[in-house]
Amino acid sequence: MKKTEILQRYLQWLIEEQDYDDPQFHTSYALLLTKSALESYETEISSEAGTSKQINGLEPKKQSIFQNLVRERLQFFLQSLDLYDPEEVLDLIQD
């Protein structure tokens, strides 16, 4: 498990289970989810082009499930909570 995934799960636990409402943690979590979603999207595009690489050691079929879960988690978080900084998330997406 990558360090990023551990941090992501920890922030998710703080926010969802412990009801932690510090905007800095919400923004960090949103940015980590966004990075994961962007990485999975780039991997999906490369696999469609025939240059597939594994995500987290998963085979392509399982990668697709992982990609969908990351996107769904990001969408749910962005729609349901408003304590993150949307400008930082948009800046990351635009880059």
Residues 6+ apart with CB under 8 A from 4: 32, 35, 36
Q: How far apart are CA 63 and CA 24, in angstroms?
A: 30
DSSP class per residue in 24-63: HHHHHHHHHHHHHHHHHHHHHHHHHTT----BTTB-HHHH
CB atoms within 10 A of CB 50: 6
User: For 38-85, what is each residue's pLDDT tens digit?
Assistant: 888 777 777 666 655 555 555 555 556 667 788 888 999 989 888 999
Res. 23 pLDDT band, cuts 50 70 90 = very high
Rounded Cα distance between 6 and 11, Å, is: 9
- For the segment 24-46, the average pLDDT, to the nearest whole number, is 87
The torsion angles phi and psi of 71, rounded to 5 degrees, stand at -65, -45
3-state secondary structure of 36: helix
Looking at residue 18, its pLDDT comes to: 96
